Amino acid sequence: MPSFEDVLKEQKSVFSNKGALSPHFVPDELPYRENEIRKLMVCLAPALSGQKAKNVFLYGKTGTGKSSSTRTVIKKLEDEKNERVKVIYMNCRVYDSRYKVLQKVITAFHPSFAKTGYSFAVLYERLLDWLEKDGKQLVVALDEVDMVKDLDNLVYTLTRANDDLTNGGIAIIGISNKVDFKQRLDARSRSSLCEEEMVFQPYNAEQLKGILSKRSEIAFQDTAVQESAINLAAAVAASENGDARYALLLLLRAGELSDAEKLDNVTDVQVEKSRKSAEEDKAFEIISTLPEHQQLLLYSIATLASEVAYKRLVEEGGEKLYFSGEVYERYAAVAKKLGKEPRTSRWYREYLKELEALGLINTVQSGKGIRGHTTLIRLSYEPQRVKQVIETKVLGE
């Protein structure tokens, strides 16, 4: 029979508030972003004195704090409790057209507009009426704005509204993870949207350490996270584009591993395991979107790898390498079996180059000992898993 002590021990967790590691959590403080926050506040401040706020465009790689900084500033603006200042934040993955954006804005003050069916013109007129009535200043924050299909139209509409209004105004905060996105806008909407511009730089390892330490205090039990864990997660994320979201994800997964293994601590060992599995997830996503023949080729390597009877494989430092010629033969056989015409060996060499560029395989030239010069291939990920991914995603097994 279990004792309560046993039961409690089973439920023990290294986390004290796991939600604090979720991407939706906005911390009270955003260290290293004081300047960006101030600059954004300067852009929006005119709204508080009845002037149109400045349009501003924020960009930078994923996980550099754009969304969090924006939401922090929005909260500060709302805390001012100015009846004539309205702020609406949305993610354009969901609101991905001019119509949907406009509808989202309007439902904030007319909930009945949530159902579709109103023409664009009706929505637009309603919006103007609402703003005009007591001279409201509206700030529309469009996160991941590059997802809007007809963005030039949307920017044009929101900008033109300011000319149609005799009272009140609309300003746009545009946010994008795509650094080169601006170039895809037409010149007119670019100059409207980018009245002010802010670039969010990637965090370095030192900054990521600071972010992780602070967050650990909220998310984990006292002393559960060892410094080695934070150092490694920060270093890994710094080398991957300085992405704070990835750093936090590594720590979350590491904590989950510690819980699963019933450990009291999170160390670099769990972080390293999380990094491996996060990397695999990414690789498998790439594999599932590869062109068919490249998938068949990878599949062939994976089948060779899992055959113990495969005699010709060369072991080098514990790693299995396969002869290019034999991989090609296997690929041709697999393709035929599936009723597909195998590509020529010239294509095959192209495919190898592409798979190598994606980090899915490695090729090396053999030394003289092995059959003169030949190409040897190494699979970067666990053959069983690679096989599995391709079987479920491609062969539909």
Ligand X SMILES: Nc1ncnc2c1ncn2[C@@H]1O[C@H](COP(=O)(O)OP(=O)(O)O)[C@@H](O)[C@H]1O
- The residue ranges that bind ligand X (CB under 6 A) are 23, 25, 27, 30-33, 62-68, 177, 200, 211, 244-245, 248
Say how many C-beta atoms besides its own lie within 10 A of residue 138's C-beta.
26
Does 68 bind Mg ion (CB under 5 A)? Our answer is no
Q: Which two tokens stand for residue 169?
A: 């105004």
The nearer residue to ligand X, 95 or 323, going by C-beta atoms, is 95
Q: Report, in Å, the least distance between residue 283 CB and Mg ion.
A: 24
* Bridge partners, 379 (sequence order): 361
Helix (H) or strand (E) holding 35: helix 34-44
Q: Report, in Å, the least distance between residue 289 CB and ligand X.
A: 22
Q: Report, in Å, the least distance between residue 182 CB and Mg ion.
A: 17
Contact stretch for Mg ion (CB under 5 A) within 66-74, 115-123, 336-344, 369-377: 66-74
- Of positions 64, 67, 157, 207, contacts Mg ion by CB under 5 A: 67
Residue that has been written with the tokens 């010069």 in this structure = 373
Q: Which one of Mg ion, ligand X, none is in contact with 159 (Cβ closer than 5 to 8 A by kind)?
A: none
Q: Report, in Å, the least distance between residue 280 CB and ligand X.
A: 22
Crossing angle of the two packed helices 34-44 and 66-79, in degrees rounded to 10? 50
The burial of 153, by beta-carbon neighbours within 10 Å (0-12 exposed, 13-18 middle, 19 or more buried), is given as middle
The nearer residue to ligand X, 235 or 358, going by C-beta atoms, is 235
Query: What mask of x and - would describe binding to Mg ion in positions 17 to 56, judged by CB under 5 A?
Result: ----------------------------------------
Q: Which one of Mg ion, ligand X, none is in contact with 185 (Cβ closer than 5 to 8 A by kind)?
A: none
Q: How far apart are the C-alpha atoms of 171 and 279, rounded to whole Å?
A: 40
Q: Which two tokens stand for residue 258?
A: 């510690």
Phi, psi of 82 (to 5 degrees): -90, 120
Say how many C-beta atoms besides its own lie within 10 A of residue 163's C-beta.
7
Does 294 bind Mg ion (CB under 5 A)? Our answer is no
The binding site for Mg ion (CB under 5 A) comprises 67
